[in-house]
């Protein structure tokens, strides 16, 4: 039995020498040292021996298991260190490498310009209308009828306005002015509100025009409001928005829902007024339409024009952004070209 034990020990040691991984060590432990392993099966035979032999062979068997266990645990330590080292080497992180910066999203210039305009107008006393007072899909009633736009007005033409197939009188709004009517229906004067939003027009697209764009509508109705108030508010707005004096001109104009009506032009920032493609060689860009709210509009909305008067305006967000940042083509806002967007 002693010989047998020695044989087992020797072959275990030999196998141990050839073991290359921790996984193989586990297999070897199973084979020799586990309860069902070879050493244990010899130990089971001890019960057939004389007491004297039992003691000697038993002690020897224990000694051999102990030696083998020591050898196995030593080998385990060596292999563990080797495996750890090679792992560390292959997974090493070079902390001296320069980092890769992640692309960061930015606020779209039309969003930031809208926010800026809104906050200036808020500082001048205007408050935002509820979204429900400024829907993008409108009936002709709000987009035209109540704004005193005659039935045969060319703006109603399919060539200018996008009609939907929801119903014959439902349009994509061509102006934010419908918000004026919604607000006057729901609110009594004094009224001092603004309504930013997208509008749609069936335009030929060029550097100045797109078939959708953004406006900010304003409406101020109270007692004794005059054209001087309109000029005061809009001049102050332009002064704050551009931060420095920009040549500006008022032109008398016509809108069915204001009387008198004006348009405000700001000198083209691309050519400094000399004339270029962006301003179609005029040296000016129109940034807003405005005027005193027409008596018919007030009456239609149930406001007595003998007591109240008001002014309204509609600003073009794209035009104002183009002038501030010298953007020479309106289409840049919609192309999602990162080289453009990253500049803001
Ligand atoms: N709705 C007009 C336009 O889109 C602008 C405007 C608004 C004019 C309010 C007068 C008063 O051109």
Q: Tens of pLDDT along 306-318?
A: 999 999 999 999 9
Residue nearest to atom 9 of ligand 1 (CA): 313
Question: What is the atom index within ligand 1 of the atom nearest the CA of 313?
Answer: 9
Computed on alpha carbons and rounded to an integer, the radius of gyration of the chain in Å comes to 43
Local confidence band at 320 (pLDDT 50, 70, 90 cut-offs): very high
Write the CA distances from 122 to 118, 126, 178, 201, integer angstroms. Answer: 6, 5, 20, 28
How high is the pLDDT of residue 25? 86
Please tell me which residue, 29 or 339, carries the higher pLDDT value.
339
At 275-302, the pLDDT tens digits run: 998 888 999 999 999 999 999 999 999 9
3-state secondary structure of 28: helix
- Of 170, 152, 154, the C-alpha closest to 162 is 170
Local confidence band at 133 (pLDDT 50, 70, 90 cut-offs): very high
How high is the pLDDT of residue 147? 96
Residue 83 pLDDT greater than 80, yes or no: yes
Residue 31 pLDDT greater than 90, yes or no: no
Which residues are registered as beta bridge partners of 127?
Answer: 193
- The 8-class DSSP code of residue 46 comes to G
Local confidence band at 138 (pLDDT 50, 70, 90 cut-offs): very high
Please tell me which residue, 252 or 65, carries the higher pLDDT value.
252
Sort strands 191-200 and 212-222 into parallel, antiparallel or unpaired.
Answer: antiparallel
Local confidence band at 78 (pLDDT 50, 70, 90 cut-offs): confident
309 burial type by CB count under 10 A (0-12 exposed, 13-18 middle, 19+ buried): buried
Token pair in block for residue 151: 């039935």
Token pair in block for residue 306: 């003998």
Mean pLDDT of 173-177: 97
At 87-132, the pLDDT tens digits run: 888 888 888 888 888 888 889 999 999 999 999 999 999 999 999 9
For the Cβ of 180 lying below 6 angstroms from any atom of ligand 1, the answer is no
Residue indicated by tokens 């000198």: 267
Residue indicated by tokens 């339409």: 289
Q: Report the distance separating Cα 294 and Cα 256, nearest Å.
A: 8
For the Cβ of 161 lying below 6 angstroms from any atom of ligand 1, the answer is no
For the Cβ of 264 lying below 6 angstroms from any atom of ligand 1, the answer is no
- Average pLDDT score, the chain: 92
For the Cβ of 313 lying below 6 angstroms from any atom of ligand 1, the answer is yes
For the Cβ of 147 lying below 6 angstroms from any atom of ligand 1, the answer is no
Q: Across 27-31, 171-175, 340-344, which has the greatest mean pLDDT?
A: 171-175
What is the distance in A from the centroid of ligand 1 to the CA of 291?
8
How high is the pLDDT of residue 329? 93
What is the distance in A from the centroid of ligand 1 to the CA of 217?
8
Q: Report the distance separating Cα 220 and Cα 308, nearest Å.
A: 10
- Of 191, 170, 179, the C-alpha closest to 147 is 179
How high is the pLDDT of residue 309? 98
Residue indicated by tokens 């072959």: 11
How high is the pLDDT of residue 262? 97
How high is the pLDDT of residue 227? 97
What one-character-per-residue DSSP string does 256-303 give? TTEEEEEEEEEE-TTTTTS--TTTTTSSEEEEEEEEEEPHHHHHHTT-
How high is the pLDDT of residue 216? 98
For the Cβ of 255 lying below 6 angstroms from any atom of ligand 1, the answer is yes
Has domain 109-341 been given CATH number 3.40.50.10540?
no
Residue nearest to atom 10 of ligand 1 (CA): 290
How high is the pLDDT of residue 40? 81
How high is the pLDDT of residue 182? 98
Q: Report the distance separating Cα 29 and Cα 27, nearest Å.
A: 5
What is the distance in A from the centroid of ligand 1 to the CA of 314?
4
At 205-224, the pLDDT tens digits run: 998 899 999 999 999 999 99
How high is the pLDDT of residue 334? 96
Using N-to-C axis directions, what is the helix angle for 227-242 and 317-325, rounded to 10°?
Answer: 40
Cβ atoms of 110 and 197 within 8 Å: the answer is no
Cβ atoms of 255 and 291 within 8 Å: the answer is yes
3-state secondary structure of 128: strand
How high is the pLDDT of residue 43? 78
Please tell me which residue, 185 or 23, carries the higher pLDDT value.
185
- Give me the percent of the chain exceeding a pLDDT of 70: 100
């Amino acid at each position: 039995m002693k010989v047998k034990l020695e044989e087992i020990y020797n072959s275990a040691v030999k196998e141990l020498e050839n073991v290359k991984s921790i996984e193989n060590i586990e297999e070897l432990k199973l084979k020799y040292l586990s309860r069902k392993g070879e050493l244990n099966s010899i130990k089971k035979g001890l019960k057939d021996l004389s007491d004297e032999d039992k003691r000697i062979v038993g002690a020897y068997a224990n000694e051999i298991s102990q030696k083998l266990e020591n050898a196995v645990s030593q080998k385990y330590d060596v292999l563990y260190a080797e495996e750890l080292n090679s792992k560390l080497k292959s997974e090493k992180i070079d902390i001296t490498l320069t980092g890769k910066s992640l692309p960061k999203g930015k606020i779209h210039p039309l969003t930031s310009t809208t926010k800026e305009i809104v906050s200036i107008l808020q500082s001048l006393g205007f408050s935002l209308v509820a979204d429900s007072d400024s829907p993008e899909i409108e009936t002709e009633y709000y987009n035209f009828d109540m704004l005193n736009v005659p039935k045969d007005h060319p703006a109603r033409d399919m060539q200018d306005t996008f009609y939907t197939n929801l119903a014959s009188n439902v349009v994509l709004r061509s102006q934010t002015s419908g918000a004026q009517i919604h607000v006057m229906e729901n609110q009594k004067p004094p009224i001092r509100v603004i309504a930013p939003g997208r509008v749609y027009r069936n335009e030929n697209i060029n550097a100045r025009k797109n078939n959708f764009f953004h406006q900010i509508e304003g409406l101020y109705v109270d007692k004794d409001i005059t054209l001087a108030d309109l000029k005061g508010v809009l001049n102050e707005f332009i002064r704050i928005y551009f931060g420095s004096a920009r040549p500006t001109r008022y032109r008398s104009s016509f809108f069915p829902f204001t009387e008198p009506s004006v348009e405000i032009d700001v000198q083209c920032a691309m050519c400094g007024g000399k004339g270029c493609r962006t301003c179609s060689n005029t040296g000016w860009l129109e940034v807003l339409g405005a005027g005193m709210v027409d008596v018919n509009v007030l009456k239609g909305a149930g406001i007595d024009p003998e007591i109240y008067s008001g002014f309204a305006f509609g600003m073009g967000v794209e035009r104002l952004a183009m002038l501030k940042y010298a953007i020479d083509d309106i289409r840049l806002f919609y192309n999602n070209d990162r080289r453009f967007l990253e500049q803001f």
